[in-house]
A and B are shown apart, each in its own frame.
Chain A
Amino acid sequence: MKINYILYSLLIALAGIEPSFAQSVMLEQHVDQDTVSRSFGRNRKHFAGTFMGFGTILGDTEGDSSVSMRQGRSSFFQYGGYYKLKLSKTFSLVGSGSYRYTKFDLGVTGDQVYNRLVTHEALAECALRTNYGRRGDFIGNYLEIGVSGDYAFIDKNKVKTKPDDPDLTYQTRKLVFSNLSYIEKLNYSAHVRLGFNKWVLTADYRLSDIINDNNTYNLPPMAVGVRFDVGA
């Protein structure tokens, strides 16, 4: 009983003390911290950000005419980060690392539903960016020309068939071939980018053959797409 009384008194005392040292801050600004000069920013010496992109593969296969592409169905998705070093008002160097998923949709034969070559790649790019027009702390409009190398750490050939045979115990069959011997793991490309602030139009041209010499055809080297900055 006595302990309860003491605790109760203590609580009341604490309750009385607490508000006497309290203030609810409705607005606080630390001007010195806010006005420090920065070297990091969209149009400053250093900038880094992340991006996301997607697009389509243009053109048909080369070589063996029996292997073709299903037009408009091949695509890629890319996600990565980049660093920009500003050299002058006009020129910057850009380096980036990213992951890319590419799907080549090949022409189908017989009972095939689809026949796809899929690669998961790690990319490294470097480029020279040329900005146009005066701008503030703003990415602005630019043309970027560069080269990239990619390594396909996963490659697969996915084939789905739908045989027209009522005696079969299945309706469709999906075959996945991995670690394909005819895929070159390491490839290199040239690219141009046309940027409008956070939005970028991309065009990549693969300079190496993704299908090695064991085959008589090659996949189209041209990919165009759209990329946008996700955030700094």
Chain B
Amino acid sequence: MVRNIQIALVGLMLVILLPTKTIAQENMEKVWVFLADKDTTQYNPYTFLDPKAIERRQINHVPVFHVSDVPVNPIYVGQIQTITGNIRAESRWFNAICCLATPQQISELKKLAFVVSVKTTERPLEILVSGRNTYQDHEEAFVPDADEINFLNAQRHRMGEAAFKKYKIDGNGVRVAVFDVGFKSYKTNPAFEHIRKDNRIKATWDFVKKKENVDAGGTHGTFVLSCIAGRIQGVDMGLATGAEFLLARTETWTEFYSEEENWLMAAEWADKNGADIINSSLGYTYHRYFREEMDGQHSLVAKAANMAASKGILVVNSAGNEGGDKWKFIGTPADADSVLSIGGIHPITGIHTSFSSFGPTRDKRLKPNVTAYGHVIGSGPKGVSETQGTSFSGPLVAGFAACARQSRPSYPTMKLFHEIEQSADLYPYYDYAHGYGVPQASYFFRTTPLNPAPTFTVEEKGDRIYIRIKSAEKVNSLNPADSVTYKENGRYIQWPDYVFYHIENETGYLAHYWVVDPVGSLSNKILEMIGEGSDSPLAGEGPLVIRRSQYPKPFTLRVHYRGYTQSIEIK
């Protein structure tokens, strides 16, 4: 008898522990149903698309009428709805419908003449897991203190804001779509008062709840928006304070378990509503994928991002916060070829911040493309506070990109993409931690290309190559424009006085890269000495040593120091 009770208890435990959804939804699977054709007879792009979407297509030489823009055939939607009883999403770009279906319903769907294929997709359990993009909801009022104002200034000045200011560039007329977990308080937050006053939030949509209100879900999006365009007590938080916005809630809780199809739906919605730029501070990594799948081809969200780019939208995506974890590398959609992926730097050390995900992609393409501060001051529902994550590097660059777009209104988007890369302050040098560096506003107003004088010499002696750094005084005299302050109130607004160098193999990807302090001082004195910039007493005395026999030949040694890059081919 007792044993019977115990067996019953085991059974009861299993019943309780089994995912209730699995039972409730009768073993339904989430599927994408791909369709054969569309009804184009009723489609008029000039009434369907926002005028800005038309304009964007024209700038990018994308056909205004394209079958991928035509909505899914409503008759097909109706038939699939009849079979499955539900429609989760429709994608006009991929001519597909997402729904939940039982195995029997899937068989029925496959028999429909207009169905090309039915592909199952993941239906994750909705387990709440805290993400890495943590921020602190402090109780501070919306009045930044002196140090927070300094911080705000530094996060803009690092991107050379002054040049945009000089030419009154603030993203005016550029439409930025922001995809996030929610935008709590955006309707009342003082950081967005200037945007609300001008009615520059053009549309909102919650793709999780299927409703218009996005003042819900979470505050992460509020912080993100503030890093693009916030202004608090007259102090700008991002660069695009004059831009227009589309706000989309695509995440259910954290970036890990939310739905990629929401991202796709939001991208199509942003396209239709005339977005010039998408800022997406999300990424999917080991919960769904393997590192070898980070090639920009595997995930739905990477395909969606590339599709958005093909429509002329500049997609800006954070690289990810896995730099210090086992995963280490970028997530998706930051792996997509046409996505501008953004890494994070630390304001105090001046270089890569530990959590920022590294590149390259699995197929060895450069990622992240550029970097910005990964530690910022943002505005949440309760006030301004410091927060961290590449979630905030992305929007800083999205704000920059909006200004770049305003200053280059006629450029096709991929040309603008490359201009942003070229504006970065390590370019043409790059590595997989910093990309091409931090984009600089001054690039967009330069009449003649920079031609920096050499800041180091290369000497070859036997098996060794010596890079001899010129003294700081000499560099300053060679490049007076470069001899400005490294730091502003303790935060770097230029690269520290470090040497960047890498070994590029013959197939064109990096095998090894470094950032070094050539002074060779004790580590606890590094910041202090660099803080004194050109006063470093040992500058000019420290040759860097690289043994040429360490790497299979041929390879390229590329070195960057204070604006000057030199490549040395080793055969």
Q: Is the CB of A28 within 8 A of B17?
A: no
| Interface: B9 (CB within 8 A) | yes
Write the nearest CB–CB distance from A117 to chain B, whole angstroms. Answer: 18
Distance A62 CA – B1 CA, assembled complex (angstroms): 9
| Interface: A182 (CB within 8 A) | no
User: Interface digits, A200-225 against B, CB 8 Å rule (1 contact, 0 not)?
Assistant: 01010100000000000000111010
| Interface: A1 (CB within 8 A) | no
Write the nearest CB–CB distance from B63 to chain A, whole angstroms. Answer: 35
Q: Is the CB of A31 within 8 A of B290?
A: no
Q: Is the CB of B541 within 8 A of A196?
A: no
Q: Is the CB of B125 within 8 A of A62?
A: no
Given contacts A22-B520, A29-B433, contact A221 B6 (CB under 8 A): yes
Selected from B13, B286, B360, B515, the residue in CB contact (under 8 A) with A136 is: B286
Which residues of B are found within 8 Å of A35, using beta-carbon distances?
Answer: 360, 362, 364
Distance A27 CA – B431 CA, assembled complex (angstroms): 11
Q: Is the CB of A26 within 8 A of B6?
A: no
Which residues of B are found within 8 Å of A59, using beta-carbon distances?
Answer: 2, 5-6, 9
| Interface: B513 (CB within 8 A) | yes
Interface size of A in residues (CB-CB distance below 8 Å)? 43
User: Interface digits, A25-67 against B, CB 8 Å rule (1 contact, 0 not)?
Assistant: 1111111101101000011100000000000001110100000
Interface range on chain B (Cβ under 8 Å from partner): 35 or more
Given contacts A58-B6, A203-B10, contact A24 B541 (CB under 8 A): no
Nearest to A202 among chain B residues (CB) is B13
Distance A101 CA – B7 CA, assembled complex (angstroms): 23
Q: Is the CB of A30 within 8 A of B287?
A: no
Distance A138 CA – B292 CA, assembled complex (angstroms): 14
Q: Is the CB of A62 within 8 A of B520?
A: no
Q: Is the CB of B512 within 8 A of A141?
A: no
Given contacts A25-B516, A26-B517, A32-B511, contact A60 B538 (CB under 8 A): no
Nearest to B523 among chain A residues (CB) is A24
Q: Is the CB of B517 within 8 A of A23?
A: yes
| Interface: B328 (CB within 8 A) | yes
Given contacts A29-B431, A137-B290, A222-B9, contact A62 B2 (CB under 8 A): yes
Distance A129 CA – B2 CA, assembled complex (angstroms): 29
Which residues of B are found within 8 Å of A192, using beta-carbon distances?
Answer: 10, 14
Q: Is the CB of B13 within 8 A of A203?
A: yes
Q: Is the CB of B541 within 8 A of A19?
A: yes
Distance A60 CA – B9 CA, assembled complex (angstroms): 13
| Interface: B509 (CB within 8 A) | yes
Q: Which residues does B use to contact A, with CB under 8 Å? A: 2-3, 5-7, 9-10, 13-14, 17-19, 22, 121-125, 127, 285-293, 327-329, 349, 351-352, 358, 360, 362, 364, 431-433, 496, 498-499, 509-521, 523, 526, 538, 541-545
Closest 9 CB pairs of A and B: A22-B520, A27-B515, A136-B289, A24-B517, A134-B122, A23-B516, A222-B6, A137-B286, A26-B515
Q: What would be 17 A-B contacts, judged by CB atoms less than 8 Å apart? A: A20-B543, A21-B545, A22-B520, A24-B520, A24-B523, A29-B512, A30-B511, A30-B512, A133-B125, A136-B290, A138-B287, A196-B127, A201-B17, A203-B13, A205-B10, A221-B3, A222-B6
